[in-house]
A = this chain, B = another copy of it.
Amino acid sequence: MSESPVSHEPPIYRRIADGLRARILSGELRDGDRLPGENALMADHAIARATARQALAVLINEGLAVPKRGSGVYVRQFKPIRRHGARRLSREQWGQGRAVWEADTRGRPFTVDRLEVALERATEEVAGVLESDEVWVRRRRYSVDSRPVQLATSYFPAHLVEGSAITTPDTGPGGVYARLSDLGLPPAQFTEEVRARMPRPWESGLLDLPAGTPVIAIVRTAYTSGGLPVELNEMVLDSAAYVLQYDFEA
């Protein structure tokens, strides 16, 4: 739907927001550009401050703009990370000692800036999928260009990975999939479930999300060729930072 099927004239703040939005979506206004301030909008459109503020609030609520304290409202369009569903998880990727993550960023600097590895009792949901009551859990936060973009929590059946580098902070070249492969359990099949929703408060905090930014929640299960589930990975992505790409055949 590229045009707005409106049946009557929208209020003025809405029309101003429509105009600014069109300029952002067309690329005329770009990431980091300052939007016209309240004073400029008041003068240009002969409106009250409250109306100007309302127009800017529309764009902030849509996640297209962010207010910076005391300095105005700015276009928010972080160059998105293209996350390629199948290619990044191909055996060629982790089989050659490359981290899955490298496929996403195409050379942009990224960091795992939080990492927690623990042996835990599985929740009912996780135990149901992995068929295991005890799990090794790896919780990470990923940042790109110093900006947190993703939280990921991976669960592994404890009896399968005990003693491997999966239970230590540094999993070595190729990461956890290469280690599963060393254990004779190479992932062969992946299922991803993708949802979008508003963030929980702690997710907003950890991802430093401005108000009005939804998250993409992905649950991925990795199976061996024999159908054994070897990993469950719950990911929470800043929606403004990502485009997911999936290619498939008819």
- Chain A residues within 8 Å of B, Cβ to Cβ: 1-6, 10, 14, 18, 21, 58, 61-63, 80, 85-86, 89-91, 123, 139, 151, 153, 177, 186-203, 206, 212-216, 234, 236, 239-240, 242-250
Q: Say yes or no: B139 contacts A1, CB within 8 Å.
A: yes
Q: Say yes or no: A201 contacts B4, CB within 8 Å.
A: yes
Q: Which residues of B contact A177 (CB under 8 A)?
A: 250
Extra 12 A-B pairs, beta carbons < 8 Å, given A196-B239, A246-B248: A1-B236, A61-B198, A63-B197, A80-B195, A90-B250, A186-B250, A192-B246, A194-B244, A195-B239, A195-B243, A196-B215, A197-B214
CA of A2 to CA of B190 in the docked complex: distance in angstroms? 22
**Shortest Cβ gap from A77 to chain B (Å):** 11
Q: Please report whether the interface of chain A is mostly helix, strand, loop or mixed according to DSSP.
A: mixed
Q: Say yes or no: B198 contacts A62, CB within 8 Å.
A: yes
Q: Say yes or no: B4 contacts A192, CB within 8 Å.
A: no
**Shortest Cβ gap from A214 to chain B (Å):** 3
Q: Which residues of B contact A186 (CB under 8 A)?
A: 250
CA of A57 to CA of B187 in the docked complex: distance in angstroms? 42
Q: Which residues of B contact A214 (CB under 8 A)?
A: 196-198, 214, 239
Q: Which residues of B contact A191 (CB under 8 A)?
A: 245-247
**Shortest Cβ gap from A86 to chain B (Å):** 4
CA of A212 to CA of B1 in the docked complex: distance in angstroms? 20
